[in-house]
Amino acid sequence: MGIATLHPLGLSGAVLQMFSHGIMTALFFAVVGVVYDRTHTRDMLVLDGLAKRMGVTAVFFTIAGLTSLGLPGLSGFVAELLVFLGLFKTYPVLGVLGVIGAAITAVYILRLLAKVFFGPMGPLPDEVESGAHGEEAVGGQPSEGSGGEFAQAVALSEAAPKSMDATRTEVLAASVLTAFVLLVGLFPFPFLRVINGGVAEVLARFG
């Protein structure tokens, strides 16, 4: 939408958003990779309260999520603000639709964080399976219903090892990406000076 405005603010915001989105997406993929490596699932319906097991990983995912929804101080805010300013100067209706879309993004990102990371801790799929096998070994037969399996799984989840969290190498990689997110969010003007030069040339070609 920023490019469609052909306005200096909109174009600058669009270019900055390309950079910001690339960094944010890389951080998302890095954190999701850590979660999948430890839990062996990407199904959000079976992941609960991971912050209690993976505190550092949760911090990085939260930063990526807040960047995506445009929290001030992070790179996503500056880029989205410029795009919206350009839209409201050229196509106000699209600007309103863009704000509504940003609000919807904020809702689903916050719901995701609340359930997967900061909600009550639940058992992982591997722990549920281990609980079922444990009951079969003790009783000779699977228990009726899932109550026994779930109880054993909860016991296992409460004793989750700290090694589930990100390793030093993973933390280093995520920290580099996070540094760029904060750098652009807190000090955008050096980046915008470089971007504005190219934007001016593009607009000059369009007259």
pLDDT tens for each residue of 158-177: 554 456 899 999 999 999 99
Q: Which two tokens stand for residue 72?
A: 């001030």
Average pLDDT estimate for 35-45? 88
Give the whole-number percent of the chain exceeding pLDDT 90.
61
Compute the C-alpha angle 52/72/187, nearest 5°.
Answer: 110
Answer with the residue of higher pLDDT: 77 or 5.
Answer: 77
- Is residue 85's pLDDT more than 90? yes
How many angstroms separate the most distant Cα atoms in the chain? 81
pLDDT of residue 163: 61
- Per the model's pLDDT, the better-predicted residue between 147 and 85 turns out to be 85
**What mean pLDDT is reported for the chain?**
84
Which tokens is 14 given? 């669009």
Q: What is the pLDDT of residues 138-150, one digit of tens each?
A: 454 544 444 555 4
When computed from its CA atoms, the radius of gyration of the chain, rounded to whole angstroms, is 22
Domain ranges of the chain: 2-121+167-198
Confidence of residue 1 (pLDDT cuts 50, 70, 90): confident
Nearest Cα to Cα of residue 53 among 130, 118, 128: 118
Confidence tier at 37 by pLDDT (50, 70, 90): very high
Per-residue pLDDT of 104-124, as tens digits, reads 999 999 999 999 999 888 787
Q: Which amino acid is at 53?
A: R
pLDDT at 23: 96
